[in-house]
């Protein structure tokens, strides 16, 4: 069974940093691209970042470019999102999601971790 479990969310002050993790199991992690998608409270879905299976291709939304860094450790079956210079508008549930390489739709999602940026 495919499982994606996010962790690392919490309350952080504007300008602060946070590192999210996503632990994957039930599939060959190193064969899939991975993604972060977020959802602000009461709002729709927003794609944040994607990383290819071997980390050769990385993409970011303009809203986070230069502040967030996606990475993965295939030996640990883990995906990460380093978030720096956080703003109030980054407050959201952050989902980890899997996609087939070359076809970035999201076939499995984690349950999400809430990031709240507030003073």
Q: Which helix (H) or strand (E) holds 10?
A: strand 10-12
Which of 56, 75, 105, 119 is in the footprint of another protein by CB under 8 A?
105
Q: 70 with 36: CB under 8 angstroms?
A: yes
Three-state DSSP class for residue 115: strand
The residue range among 11-19, 57-65, 70-78, 81-89 that interacts with another protein, by the rule CB under 8 A, is 57-65
Closer Cβ to another protein, 16 or 116, answer by number: 116
Dmax over CA atoms of the chain, in Å, equals: 40
Residue 87 CA to residue 84 CA, distance in Å, equals 9
The residue range among 15-23, 24-32, 74-82, 106-114 that interacts with another protein, by the rule CB under 8 A, is 106-114
Which of 50, 83, 90, 117 is in the footprint of another protein by CB under 8 A?
50
111 touches another protein (CB under 8 A): yes
Residue 104 CA to residue 50 CA, distance in Å, equals 8
Which of 59, 74, 78, 87 is in the footprint of another protein by CB under 8 A?
59
DSSP-derived secondary structure letter, 30: G
- Rounded to the nearest whole angstrom, what is the least distance from the CB of residue 16 to another protein in the complex? 25
């Amino acid at each position: 069974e495919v499982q994606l479990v996010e962790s690392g969310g919490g309350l952080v002050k504007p300008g602060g940093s946070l590192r999210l993790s996503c632990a994957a199991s039930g599939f060959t992690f190193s064969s899939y691209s991975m993604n972060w998608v977020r959802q602000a409270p009461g709002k729709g879905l927003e794609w944040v970042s994607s990383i290819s299976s071997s980390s050769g291709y990385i993409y970011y939304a303009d809203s986070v470019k230069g502040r967030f860094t996606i990475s993965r450790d295939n030996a640990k079956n883990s995906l990460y999102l380093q978030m720096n210079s956080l703003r109030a508008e980054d407050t959201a549930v952050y989902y980890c999601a899997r996609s087939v390489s070359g076809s970035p739709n999201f076939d499995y999602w984690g349950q999400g971790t809430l990031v709240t940026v507030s003073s």
